[in-house]
Amino acid sequence: MGVLMSDEAVLERVLEHAAAKSTDLGDAVWREPVSNYTSQARLEAEMALFQRMPMVYCPSAALPEPGSYLARTHAGAPLLAVRGEDGEVRVFHNACRHRGMMLAEGDGKVKGGFVCRYHAWAYGLDGALRSMAGPQGFPGVDAAQHGLVAVTSEERGGFVFVTVKPQVSEGALESLPEIIAADQVMFDYSTYVDDANWKLLKEFSMEGYHIKSLHHKSFYPYGYDNLNIIETFGPNSRITFPFRRVEKLRDQPRSQWRAAGKLTYVIQIFPSTRVSILSNHYQVVTLEPISPAQTRWHIYRLTLPGEAVTPESLERSRRDADFVKDTGLIEDRAAACSSQAGLAGDGNTHFTFGLFEKAVVHFHRELDARVTLAETRA
């Protein structure tokens, strides 16, 4: 991945930490005001930033062929992404140019384009208005000026990025490596809502300080407590969660070292997306803030790169996804929702992130700096 350590270097550092019972450490303690998890004004400032920098909308694999589309709300705006006949992905405001009805919901595939259910205005995959029902009723209306309104989009690193308003920051694109390969296939997409601020639902994936206490019966029997390798690149980061079976490598020549099955990489794509590279699948999560205390998850599950997709390989991927979904992720979500509920009282003015939580501190530093930048340029 270029800017990131090689698998061999990561494995070597993991073994050193395991022997020393240590972990990568940050350089400072960070105190985050709890008002940043409850304030409507803070959320609006974050949303204003989200509109003005490239952010992940979905993996490219969610739009595998011409006519594939995915519609969802992003940074407060209902958007519609679709792959055209020319292979390009375009993203539009999901609103008919006649009376504003959304043209699509969820994900799927269309042939040729979209037809509004309200009055049957029809649009091509390129967003152009192809026809108006009863055109004689609209004298002087220029169809060429009534195509769907596009937002800035590009495919990078295996993702579709969108920028809704004039850009003030490159965000994750400052230093994004290739993450998802062209041969990976999306086999599941789901959404749900949790009663927690989006940052609380992001923070637990950036540290292993909680593994033994929160995941004592799920992840801890297989992994270490508080042993992580932390790499930062631009506003992004990669956190390594090793399995205890990595110890078997001590007796093997380096030429035989393999990360598969020994490590889980969690790549944080700033600000609200993460990619977990697991034993038999990739999990991509994008968090969509709804309110200060509510967040919608968008979860995409993909096959491994370089692997032929067969019924057997898909079954392995699904089993792996179910284990993650039905064990540790439930525990993490419950903890985040409990933290949000606890903010109703006066128990804390700040959350305190220590040296074990280096990636969380990096995230908050980067978010604060960019929120301030967006406010100064508003």
- 174-188 pLDDT, tens digit per residue, is 899 999 999 999 999
* pLDDT of the residue at 1: 47
pLDDT at residue 347 tops 60: yes
DSSP 8-state symbol, 162: E
Q: Where are the alpha helices (DSSP H) in the chain?
A: 7-20, 40-51, 198-203, 211-214, 311-326, 328-342, 358-376
Structure tokens at 38: 């409850």
Whole-angstrom distance, CA of residue 131 vs CA of residue 115 = 9
How high is the pLDDT of residue 3? 80
Q: What is the pLDDT of residue 322?
A: 86
* 153-162, 234-243, 366-375: the lowest-pLDDT one: 366-375
Tokens 């550092």 belong to 13
Per-residue confidence (pLDDT) for residue 373, from 0 to 100: 83
| Per-residue pLDDT at 249 exceeds 90 | yes
| 55-166 and 1-53+174-378 share a CATH fold | no
Query: What is the Cα–Cα distance from 60 to 51, expressed in whole angstroms?
Result: 20
Domain ranges in the chain are 1-53+174-378, 55-166
Q: The tokens of 300 are what?
A: 């995409």
pLDDT of residue 276: 96
The single-letter code of the amino acid at 274 is: R
Angle at 116 between CA 110 and CA 117, to 5 degrees: 105
Per-residue confidence (pLDDT) for residue 328, from 0 to 100:
76
Q: Identify the pLDDT of residue 326.
A: 67
Q: Which CATH class is domain 1-53+174-378?
A: alpha beta
Whole-Å CA distances, 341 to 30, 46, 315, 337:
22, 21, 37, 6
3-state secondary structure of 176: coil
Q: Is the peptide bond before 271 cis (omega within 30 degrees of 0)?
A: yes
pLDDT tens figures, 52-77 = 999 999 999 999 999 999 999 999 99
Assign residue 372 a region (left: φ > 0; alpha: ψ between -120 and 50; beta: otherwise).
alpha
Pick the range with the lowest mean pLDDT from 206-215, 262-271, 326-335, 355-364.
Answer: 326-335
Q: What is the pLDDT of residues 320-337, one digit of tens each?
A: 888 887 677 899 999 999
Residue-level length of the chain: 378
Cβ proximity of 303 and 158 under 8 Å:
no
pLDDT band at 378 (very low <50, low <70, confident <90, very high): low
pLDDT value, residue 2? 52
Class of domain 55-166: mainly beta
